[in-house]
Amino acid sequence: MTEVFDAAPALRRWLIALAGPSPSAKLSYDACFEILHDPSATYHLVARLVFTLNTFGDFHLVWAASHTMESVLLDERITAWGSRRPWLENIGHGLALRSEPLDMSAPLDDIREFWRIGLEIDDLLDAGPRFAPHDFPVPFATVSKAFESVKLDGTVDDAETTISRLLAEAQSARLWSIPWGARVEIAFGPFVAMRIFEDDGEFSCHFLDAEDRYFHVAVGLVGEPPRASSKRVYRVLDGAEISENEDAEASLRLVAAAVVRDFVVVERRESVFSARNFRKRIRGRDVRTVIYLPRVRYDRVKPEALTHSGPGATGERAMHQVAPHLRRAQKPTNEQLLLAKQYGFHVPEGFTFVRGHDRGGLAEADRVRVYRSRSASQMIFTEMTTAPAGTRPAWFDFEKDCLTILEKRGLRVIHQATNRDGDGGVDLYATAPDGACWVIQCKCWAAHRKVGPEVVRELAGAIQLAAKGATEAARGMLITTSSFTSGAVESALALGYELIDGQQFASLAAAE
């Protein structure tokens, strides 16, 4: 705790005001307001202080600290009298308090519900890019009532074991990305769809009701172990007593884990999802996008799917997991640095990164091949008798063609990250046989939309980050289905980046 206080002295003043010899609500509030306007102190509050207090088992102090923070986030100086949504941006050296406008023409009940339940930490971290002014949470009572009768076929522990296995598979066998804001059709409880937003291995899964209000489930593939978390769901017992509905919470985490896992792991994703254009008028606005159509019913778990070995079991002899870790080494390779990035590890000088792996059973390459050959959704949930009408998703072909082109060059993709602005792009991090590191930006753009010099600058920034700790600077490549402006060509040539336009892309992807 001393280390935390030394790094952020304001936290000491806050806790003294909150629980010291002479507690003061005003001093506690003022200290917390100061902390939230200091990115470094906010980071230590969110990432270290609350964890430390939980470790000590002082849940009363955790409760008081959390509620003080939520109270401060309601301050009119932050919310402009309730018209702006606060969020926390990861700026590398801390968490900076930001705010975005709320749609004040929305139903008053939705605005009230947001201020009542929308300030939990998962709804704050890097939330700005994924929320629009019209995004509001599904009312707490609506979700709880819809799931009152949900009962797992198996225990909650069975479901959690399956979830852990799905996420471990996604972490170790990841091959693809999920386009920013991808909309997946989901018919489960009050929900009709799910939107998925990825931020470098952290997935925010928004279950949407018919009015596009969200219920947040977070899936994290960074760090060890990978994890899934959700908001609380409750059920009423005997007309009065309220208890946590763990079956509903686990069911939602299971659906999110299965969808994310299949999106990033299954080699032939078109066998799991089809797609169609989606257009609907929701609350006075036109929603136009592509919706992905799964071939299973997420409201129907196959009998005993959770109580047997389940997805990930390959029938081989017993194995055990070795967690990702650091070991001493004079100099890590570029591939090891990229793997560390994928797992969320910082590699200090004099160390290298060893990825997590299973010992015993099938060899790792064989196990990954098995994971990529099958759908977790189709193993756990009941398949539809008639596949939904749709087409082969263009995004799947684009990613597959990019991977094919790079593999023909001898490059091995280690890490991928979709663009957070939803511009139809993905960043790939790869290594060459000579050990060189490559950062490749891929843009799936319409022919009329040219890639400009601002994209080249984005690539330069990504390369600078990738080069930290590396033995040499990363090389750059831009791939697009469209073309480049003269300014982009000039900037790329000056920086030594390789360019592949739409015509070259089609030729290279089709070449034997």
The answer to whether residues 175 and 286 belong to one domain is yes
The answer to whether residues 455 and 378 belong to one domain is no
Tens digit of each residue's pLDDT (9 = 90 or more) over 162-205: 999 999 999 989 999 999 999 999 999 999 999 999 988 899 99
* 483 SS3 class: coil
Please check whether residue 73 lies inside any domain of the structure.
Answer: yes
Q: Which two tokens stand for residue 117?
A: 């339940």
Task: Give the pLDDT band of residue 348 (cuts 50, 70, 90).
Answer: low
**Domain end residue (candidates: 130, 147, 169):** 130
Tens digit of each residue's pLDDT (9 = 90 or more) over 54-67: 777 777 888 888 88
Which range of residues forms the domain containing residue 412? 394-510
Mean pLDDT for all residues in the chain: 86
Please check whether residue 307 lies inside any domain of the structure.
Answer: no
The answer to whether residues 75 and 163 belong to one domain is no
The answer to whether residues 73 and 165 belong to one domain is no
Looking at residue 48, its pLDDT comes to: 81
Q: β-strands 412-418, 425-431: how paired?
A: antiparallel
Q: Which two tokens stand for residue 311?
A: 């997805």
Task: Name which of 280, 270, 258, 124 is nearest 188 in CA terms.
Answer: 258
Tens digit of each residue's pLDDT (9 = 90 or more) over 393-418: 989 999 999 999 999 999 998 888 78
Q: State the pTM of this model.
A: 0.85
The answer to whether residues 212 and 117 belong to one domain is no
Measured CA to CA, the distance from residue 165 to residue 174 in angstroms comes to 13
Task: Name which of 37, 38, 60, 218 is nearest 127 in CA terms.
Answer: 218
Q: Identify the CATH number of the domain in which residue 494 sits.
A: 3.40.1350.10
Please check whether residue 7 lies inside any domain of the structure.
Answer: yes
C-alpha distances in Å from residue 447, one per residue of 68, 408, 418, 503: 52, 25, 20, 10
